[in-house]
A and B are shown apart, each in its own frame.
Chain A
Amino acid sequence: MIRAANLIDALNRAPAGQPFITFWIDEDERQALTFGEFRRRAREQARVFRDHGLQAGDRVVVIMPQGIPAMTTFVAAMMLGAAPAFLAYPNFKVEPSKYRSGLLGVTANLSAKAVVIDDEFPEEMLACVSVGDDTMLLRAGAKDFKAQRELQESHEHTSKEEIPKIRPDGLAFIQHSAGTTGLQKGVALTHAAVLRQIEHLARALKIDNEADRVYTWLPLYHDMGLIACFMLPMVCHLPVVMQSPLDWVMHPETLLQIISEHKCTLAWMPNFAFQFVPRRTPESRWRDYDLSSLRLLINCSEPVRASSMSEFQRAFAIKSAVLQSSYAMAENVFAVTQSDIDRPSGPLRIWVDGQQFRGAHRVKLVDEGTPGAVSFTSSGRLLPHQQVRVVSDSGVILQSDFVGEILVRGDCLFEGYYNRPDLTAQAIVDGWYHTGDLGFHLDGELYVVGRKKDLLIIGGENIYPQDIEEIVGGHPFVHDGRVIAMGVYNPDLGTEEIVVVAEVEHEELLAGAVELEQEIRSRVVAGLGVAVRTVFLKPPKWIVKSTAGKPARSATREKLLTEHPELNAQA
């Protein structure tokens, strides 16, 4: 990989004729463009931005549907030394009121010079974009951009001088951490940090720009979509085949279709997608697809679940070495760890004593199949120049066989939350970023077991809601991954009790709720040795999801407590 001075320099080095983005619309429609054409369009937009007075250091908010125009707009802002940020485009699944309040907060905090929307941006949502006196609202594709078209016939070489010098330590863009929209924080990243991350990742994944091709449905406003599936290909000059996240959610089988058809070699997905795709594709069609081109399919979730990955692997006859794992977060640009892609059996899996784990937060290795053992899948080894520490609640550094909060430090770490020194000071202490994730770092492998704030303490035992959720979610009548386990305090007992809310696969199944509840309780007791106080079975789509499509824990908890005030009375 050639060392570039900044992200735009890396883009400029790509051969003009090399294919870049293929945007898959449906079976018979797609848009494709080369690196040369991508640059030309981005420069054209950069010129329009400049004519509107946009300068280095300004912030540009991009609220456009997933696709090539959104990507060229983003890069155009970077070309001027401005810092763009993708925000989620309103869609039919998003509760309008929630979207409004979230967007308003995020755009106001960025105090952007320009907010770029597309021609079809719904009028009723415009009021929720904070456009202050100093903010311009631009419509990409409309007159603002098209009027300039005749002017930009000039060849790409002649326009190079117009592009200002971008400092490597200058802000490249702002990416938003996952979470329910209102709580999203703007993670400020420099060109140098992003380039270092890509360099580490490209080396760990043995990226080859002549052979590799990325497939993605991941939203561009999320780190997995932005870094792994847009910035990495842009810097390493890889072709990408992309589809809209919404189209994918509607028709998850299209993932198989696209990978087969375009012979993609690399993809990243969150854990739930490994179950979602096989479960939403009729079994009779599983073998219609040829995924043999896939070199790496990386599970980038915390925690990584071996059961979800095996489900995908069994359905589509994929080699174990293809399924890999990574631990990533917007605050570190993207990845902190990556599993060793040369291990033929995929990410390392271990079994630990369940009692020691829950009672003492201790990792004691046992053999597979030992009664009461808990299994973990490694998220991989540290990328170069990355460090982790595992600390106790009181901040004491723990030995490798103890579970605690994961702290991260390294050469890709963010500068801070944009305009929020208060949040930055809480998150980065003495150079270490406090991730809020719990895990352990054993023999060089990092295992992420859950979120610190989600941990349930039941009668002195540490229970991870994810463990309960995996057991409940494994029931064939429960909708894929739509389970949330939480602790509700019971003052009579002086401890939290476990409450589970789960969506059934079909609403008709609610008729047999009593039996199903009993089965769920028995499974949890058998698996973890703890009793569930109440199981709430809900119809499909009941659980609140985050912008990243994962069940939103706190929002779901709130919804449950509102619908069931009897729980509140004791909370």
Chain B
Amino acid sequence: MTSEAQQMIDHIVQLIRKPGVTIDENTPLVSSGLIDSMALVDLLLKLEDLTHRRIPAGKVQPKDMDTVLKMFATAERVGKPRK
């Protein structure tokens, strides 16, 4: 796992504040109800920071953000490198 993915996981753990829940790159987050879809704005901003990419939010659907692995794949697919 990349250090960026680990940083994202740490960020999510802090966000959901559910003791005992462990998260890895493949843990479903949205579909399992672990995170509210409203929290995704925050995750998308974090993803932009971690990947140094600009992500057009209109091209992102909840399923694209369901796991940490998918988030980074989404950033790669629709994001543009930042100047």
Contact = CB atoms under 8 A, between A and B. Distances in A.
A541 B45 CA distance: 14
Interface residues of A, number: 29
Contact of A91 (B15, B45, B60): B60
Contact of B44 (A25, A66, A250, A539): A250
Contacts of A91: 57-58, 60-61
B57 A244 contact: yes
B36 A542 contact: yes
Interface string B23-63: 00000000000001111111011000000001011111111
Contact of A26 (B42, B62, B80): B80
A90 interface: yes
Nearest to A66: B58
Given A250-B44, A250-B45, A545 B59 contact: no
Contacts, number: 67
Interface string A93-115: 11110000000000000000000
B41 A93 contact: yes
A189 to B, nearest CB: 27
B63 A250 contact: no
Nearest to B43: A92
A95 B37 contact: yes
Given A244-B56, A244-B57, A247-B58, A92 B17 contact: no
Contacts of A89: 58
B14 A507 contact: yes
**Residue among B15, B39, B44, B62 facing the most chain A CB atoms (10 A cut-off):** B62
Contacts of B54: 26
B65 to A, nearest CB: 6
A133 interface: no
Given A66-B58, A122-B61, A250-B57, A93 B38 contact: yes
B56 A247 contact: yes
A161 interface: no
Interface string A172-196: 0000000000000000000000000
Nearest to B39: A541
Contacts of B60: 91-92
Given A92-B60, A507-B14, A541 B80 contact: no
Contacts of B39: 540-541
Contacts of A542: 36, 38
A90 B58 CA distance: 9
B57 A249 contact: yes
Nearest to A27: B83
Contacts of A92: 37, 40, 44, 57, 60-62, 64-65
Interface string A6-27: 0000000000000000000111
Contact of A94 (B15, B37, B42, B83): B37
Nearest to B45: A250
Given A92-B40, A541-B41, A25 B56 contact: yes
Interface of B: 14-15, 17, 36-42, 44-45, 54, 56-65, 80, 83
4 smallest beta-carbon distances between A and B, as pairs: A541-B38, A246-B57, A92-B60, A244-B58
20 contacts: A26-B56, A27-B83, A66-B58, A89-B58, A92-B37, A93-B40, A93-B41, A96-B37, A96-B62, A122-B61, A122-B63, A124-B63, A244-B56, A244-B57, A244-B58, A247-B57, A249-B57, A541-B39, A541-B41, A541-B42
